[in-house]
Amino acid sequence: MSDPSLTEGLVALLARPISAADRRRAALHLLDWIGCAAAGAASEAGAVFRDHAARQPWGAARVFLGARNTARDAAFANGAFGNVLEMDDLHREAILHPGPVVIPAALAVATERGTGGHALLDAMLRGYEAMIRIGRAAGRTHYERFHPTATVGGFGSAAACASLLGLNAERTAWALGNAGTAAGGVWQCRHEPVMTKQFHTARAAALGLEAAQLAAAGLTGPRYILEGRQGVFNGLAPDARPDRLLATPDEPWLMHATSFKPWPACRHAHAAVDAALALRPQVGGRAIAAIRVESYADALAFCDRAAPRSVIEAKFSLQHAVAVALHEGKPPLLAFELPAIASPELAALRARTTLVEDPSFTRAYPFHFGSAVEITLADGTVLHESVPDALGDPENPLSDDAILVKATMLLGSAGVARPDTVIAAALAMAEDAPVSRLNDALP
């Protein structure tokens, strides 16, 4: 018999026990995604996907701010929404966002099958695990060329849907293999003011769901999709680290190491925002002569935009994010909209900001997303603050209450009249409430 594949090893690892604490954590990620997706569905990009969903066949699965659709079409539409605001959850080593891909696919299948909350949350845990483990094994060069949430996302949604469909180990491996063979998502979209990132997450959510459904029907898939001579690692990840895939099999589910994002900007900007917020009281309204942001190489590569021209460029601008934090305090959603971008006060602060790579932050990355901010005041006073881990990271976690406040704010921004009803329904999944209760509460 041939040697076991990495995919088969991963499938075996996904079968380990799930505790009540694991499910409570999964319910928080579910709630966090719901807030992000509801607000994203109300955006300009969200309207495109809602209009597209409205033209698809009717089904049982719920689409945010829209009609019901088939599981595949609901996963596609909802998969677009969670990443719009750049507030979706993140795993640092893997450098990807599991929530906006795994959860829409899992929720669509759970709704179609009428499952309880435990089945949904268990599927999420398995989907996150598959996506994160493959993402962290893909290596750094992969991130330079590809959007890992897109390329690896199909594995996560396939694992989640395979769990809900009750696939055995062999068919789960088929689903993962076929999801991997269609992996893709290059980074050109980040160089242009376009909505392609939403298409990336939508496609990854639907891809894994389709792969799992086809595996359930008997469609075989490649066992060695990861390490094979023409597999994902050799084709897309030239410095892949296959040993990271199955390493530390007894550690907690990797969802517990996934970060929540408090600010509506690229995660690469968050530690700098935290440093600026810490310095703001010391500035005390005095004139600022210069701002110096020190961070790791990828933060500068992705977020060096002194003069953003659009919402997405502002969200990927260290200069703008730090200016907002210094001028307004905790960044609100509107701080990244066009009127704020055009603000003379923010433009002046951006113009005074210099970005510098700090080798110590680069060495710590991607296990730590650190930054420092140095402010020189007009009177010559120099202020400095260093933040090794952004707010929401495991070392600097958001409290459960803060996650609920964030969800309430996002649901309110989408016009949801009773956010508390949605929040209660999401958290009730940890008590195995029927998924229909959650769908009935969704906007």
How many domains does the chain divide into?
2
User: In this structure, are 38 and 134 located in the same domain?
Assistant: yes
User: In this structure, are 302 and 257 located in the same domain?
Assistant: no
pLDDT at 238 over 70: yes
User: In this structure, are 287 and 205 located in the same domain?
Assistant: no
pLDDT at 375: 98
Question: What global pTM score does this model have?
Answer: 0.96
User: In this structure, are 357 and 289 located in the same domain?
Assistant: yes
Whether residue 225 lies inside any domain: the answer is yes
Q: What average pLDDT does range 145-168 have in this prediction?
A: 97
User: In this structure, are 251 and 271 located in the same domain?
Assistant: no
User: In this structure, are 224 and 272 located in the same domain?
Assistant: no
User: In this structure, are 147 and 271 located in the same domain?
Assistant: no
User: In this structure, are 18 and 72 located in the same domain?
Assistant: yes
pLDDT at 3: 87
**Mean pLDDT score of the chain, rounded to an integer?**
96
User: In this structure, are 407 and 286 located in the same domain?
Assistant: no
The CATH number of whichever domain residue 357 belongs to comes to 3.30.1330.120
User: In this structure, are 150 and 287 located in the same domain?
Assistant: no
pLDDT tens digits for range 59-115? 888 898 888 899 999 999 999 999 999 999 999 999 999 999 999 999 999 999 999
Q: Secondary structure of the chain in the HEC alphabet?
A: CCCCCHHHHHHHHCCCCCCHHHHHHHHHHHHHHHHHHHHHHCCHHHHHHHHHHHCCCCCCEECCCCCEECHHHHHHHHHHHCCCCCCCCEECCCCECCHHHHHHHHHHHHHHHCCEHHHHHHHHHHHHHHHHHHHHHCCHHHHHHECHHHHCHHHHHHHHHHHHHCCCHHHHHHHHHHHHHCCCCEHHHHHCCCCHHHHHHHHHHHHHHHHHHHHHCCCCCCCCCCCCCCCHHHHHCCCCCHHHCCCCCCCCCHHHHCECCCCCCCHHHHHHHHHHHHHHHHHCCCCEEEEEEEECHHHHHHHCCCCCCCHHHHHCCHHHHHHHHHHHCCCCHHHHCHHHHCCHHHHHHHHCEEEEECHHHHHHCCCCCCEEEEEEECCCCEEEEEECCCCCECCECCCHHHHHHHHHHHHHHCCCCCHHHHHHHHHHHHHCCEHHHHHHHCC
pLDDT tens digits for range 49-71? 999 999 998 888 889 888 889 99
Q: Which domain does 282 fall in, by range? A: 267-387
pLDDT band at 210 (very low <50, low <70, confident <90, very high): very high
pLDDT band at 193 (very low <50, low <70, confident <90, very high): confident
User: In this structure, are 104 and 184 located in the same domain?
Assistant: yes
Whether residue 394 lies inside any domain: the answer is no
pLDDT band at 324 (very low <50, low <70, confident <90, very high): very high
